[in-house]
Structure 1
Amino acid sequence: MEFHELLRRIDERSTVLRTTVAAAPSLDVQVPTCPEWTLLDLARHIGVGRRSWAATVAAGPDAPAKITVEDAPPGEREALTAWLAASTQELLNALREAGPDRGCWTWWRRSQSPRTCAAVARHQLQEIAVHTYDAQLAVGSAQPLPPEVALDGVEEFLFTCCATTAAWPHESAVVDHHATEGRSWRLWLSADGARIARFTPATDEEPDVSVRGTASDLVLLFYGRVPLDDLKVEGDRQVYERLIDWDPGV
């Protein structure tokens, strides 16, 4: 997505999250996908996290670490949703002022994603989209991620969280991901690390395992929101289970 579209989508998903919080029967409902959190805890995580990333973006490329902002949210519902809106606006303002190409501190260092404000915006969209799903699930109204957000999310996760120069500690393998919306990605795992590319499934190289589902289900699988059994798996399932368990330290 273009930078302006990423920012628009962040705003849109944040609005849906606030609407969900405002309509919840109680802020004390548990979040099934984050079992240690109530909906209020989730809202706090979202708000404080966006303010911290806003400060990190504003600090520029020389920031040595993510800047932590502690700002306790109000417990009253109307004030809480206003606080969440202000948190999102802080992030959007910082990103707009910085622009897509400026460098920014990121926790990913050895991945295929750049360390720029555009990459930060891309990852922020996915974090907010997944947590919006969490909030919806907590109140019994979970919806799939919007298709364009989810398609970008599959690629963003693979390039940011899977690609690495850290050695794959098992036998070399090829893993394919297929979104039913018509996009596919190939992951090569070896002693040289993990490398990702988008591809068209018309190659002689057969993968060791492939996973197929909607883009939304793929993203939710990546973030541990749905089990592998919810998607179609072909080939050596153990390879994929090892991939799920692997922490490459990107």
Structure 2
Amino acid sequence: MTEHLHFPTLLRMIDERSAAFRAAVAAAPSLDADVPTCPGWTLYDLANHLSEGDRFWAHIVLNTVPGDERPSKDGQAAPREREALIAWLADSTEQLLAALREAGPDRGCWAWWEPLASPHTVAAVARRRVPESMIHTYDAQLAAGDPQELPRTEAVGAIEEFLATVCTNTALWPHEPATMDYHAAGAGSWRQTVDAAGSRYARLTAAEAAGSKPTAAVHGTASEMALLMYMRIPNASLRLEGDADLLQQLQDWD
């Protein structure tokens, strides 16, 4: 199971990463700047997406229960003038944080992921919104010409959250059974196992990581590992051992 950060810490991280996103929007040469890591999107498109997500999940945690049909988004677009957009982003984040505080971490709600390692709770939504805010802040910084390394604690949380929420499922793996180890220097190691039963993960102890013989293993910093998982940097950016095709197969797997 994921070693979860405390709920107030998650809320603080959302607030901090959202503030960093707004700072990148304020510093960018234009809201029409291309976002290299989101092909076809401008910085405005990215800002509209993030604010829409904040408002969407604010509604979900207060108004849904597990098993509900996927709620619809309100479709209200963010303003296109920079100052108004930044204020809209701040209000969107505050709506999300206020909803999370009001609902509390243990309340159940709708979620799109399988509840195997990441339950359908408000706490899990908060964990999901931290990397959403953080990765999109990196996207915005890249569009503004000043990408920053991801904060280490948030990056480690993003690695585990990705493995628990995105990668843990019961979908049939269409290739030979395999194991992929992820080693974040000084931050921890994880193993993803894929086979006919689906995908699952486990955190490795230092001894297990040192003696493991996986199908493939990837090595990098916590920031690099999180960016790799969200496909923000190329696979060749990190050191890969073993089956060179496995990482690409995992990324291509629906």
For Structure 1 versus Structure 2, the TM-score category normalised by the shorter chain is: over 0.9
Partner of 2:65: 61
Partner of 1:183: 188
Partner of 1:88: 93
What is the CA-CA distance between 1:205 and the residue it aligns to?
4.5
Partner of 2:37: 33
**TM-score if structure 1 supplies the norm length?**
0.95
Give the one of 206, 217, 220 matched to 2:227: 220
Q: Cα deviations across residues 149-199 of structure 1 (Å, max 9, x unaligned)?
A: 000000000111111112211111111001012301011111111111101
Distance in 1 between the 2:15 and 2:182 partners?
A: 28
Seen in structure 2, the aligned counterparts of structure 1 residues 172 and 53 have a Cα distance that, compared at 3 Å, is: same
Alignment of 1:14-29 (within 5 A): 14-29=18-33
Q: Cα deviations across residues 86-107 of structure 1 (Å, max 9, x unaligned)?
A: 0000000111111111111111
What is the CA-CA distance between 1:23 and the residue it aligns to?
1.6
Aligned partner of residue 21 in structure 1, secondary structure: helix
> Over the residues paired in the alignment, what is the CA RMSD in angstroms?
1.3
CA contact (8 A) 1:187 1:196 kept: yes
Aligned partner of residue 16 in structure 1, secondary structure: helix
Distance in 2 between the 1:75 and 1:129 partners?
A: 22
Distance in 2 between the 1:147 and 1:215 partners?
A: 6
Distance in 2 between the 1:182 and 1:36 partners?
A: 34
Partner of 2:150: 145
Find out whether 1:45 has 2:52 as its counterpart.
Answer: no
Any gaps of 5 or more consecutive residues in structure 1? Answer: none
Aligned partner of residue 7 in structure 1, secondary structure: helix
Alignment of 1:143-222 (within 5 A): 143-203=148-208, 204-222=211-229
Aligned partner of residue 34 in structure 1, secondary structure: coil
Give me the identity figure in percent.
Answer: 53
Q: Cα deviations across residues 26-55 of structure 1 (Å, max 9, x unaligned)?
A: 111111111211111111111111111111
Give the one of 72, 78, 88 matched to 2:77: 72
Distance in 2 between the 1:239 and 1:34 partners?
A: 24
CA contact (8 A) 1:177 1:185 kept: yes
Distance in 2 between the 1:233 and 1:124 partners?
A: 29
What is the CA-CA distance between 1:210 and the residue it aligns to?
0.3
Give the length in aligned residue pairs. Answer: 247
Seen in structure 2, the aligned counterparts of structure 1 residues 219 and 81 have a Cα distance that, compared at 3 Å, is: same
Partner of 1:231: 238
Which 4+ residue blocks in structure 1 deviate beyond 3 angstroms?
none
Seen in structure 2, the aligned counterparts of structure 1 residues 97 and 172 have a Cα distance that, compared at 3 Å, is: same
